[in-house]
Amino acid sequence: MNQAYEKYQAVKKALLAQADPERAVSMAAYMRNQFAFLGIQAAARRQAYKENLKAFKKSAAVDYEFLNFCFGDGYRELQYFVVDALNGVQKRLTPADVPKIEPYLRHKQWWDTIDGLDKIVGRIGLNDPAYRPEIEAVMRQWGQDPNFWMRRVAIDHQRGMKEQTNASLLAELIEMNLGSDEFFINKAIGWSLREYSKTNPDWVRDFLKTHESRMARLSVSEAAKYLG
């Protein structure tokens, strides 16, 4: 049997042992019944596959075949495993990993996986100064992608980078998406600005002053949350 498939089966077996069918119904409903769930809350889920994650992190190379099996599974908890696994090896990732991660961003899309994967990809640019221009070029492409989830990834990819945030790129990506009537885009704009306001409130105030007339009310209210 394929080794990657065996590893996937081991993760799934560990999760199945913790399945809670009653909770699975409410978890699926919370995600608008787009995905099937085993009904395992985050802490218990991570405990269930703790040893599988340890083994994944110790591998010399990122086993994308294994991750592909997990992401292709019908249960949402297996997609969460992929996010946790990539987060565990994030500091080893390079721009060459982006095309391998991109399918996880383009399939089974919803905020729960998108908002975990965007930071993983974004922080590749911090792993080595030489990587940053390439990652930023990808984000400029994604910032104009027909798929709004990919645009959300671009807008939010610097979330939490604090002083390492490229403010001019943040402005550029937001400006590309002003005037959108998509909730998840307008929420992302506000979220990214709100996070950066913790580091550079004056910059965010100036951005709002310049662009507020073109921004959705949701974006403005989110962005101004910590500005007083």
**Cα–Cα distance, 155 to 169 (Å, whole number):** 9
Residue whose token pair is 């699926």: 28
Which domains, ranges and CATH numbers included, belong to the chain? 1-88 (1.25.10.90), 112-228 (1.25.10.90)
- Is residue 60 exposed (0-12), middle (13-18) or buried (19+ Cβ within 10 Å)? exposed
Contact 169, 197 (CB under 8 A): no
Q: Packing angle between helix 3-16 and helix 64-71, nearest 10 degrees?
A: 40
- In tens digits, the chain (228 residues) has pLDDT values of 599 999 999 999 999 999 999 999 999 999 999 999 999 999 999 999 999 999 999 999 999 999 999 999 999 999 999 999 999 999 999 999 999 999 999 999 999 999 999 999 999 999 999 999 999 999 999 999 999 999 999 999 999 999 999 999 999 999 999 999 999 999 999 999 999 999 999 999 999 999 999 999 999 999 999 997
Mark out the alpha helices in 63-131 (DSSP H runs): 64-71, 76-88, 98-106, 111-122, 124-127
Residue 32 has a CB neighbour count (10 Å cut-off) of: 8
Residue whose token pair is 């060459």: 96
**pTM, full prediction:** 0.95
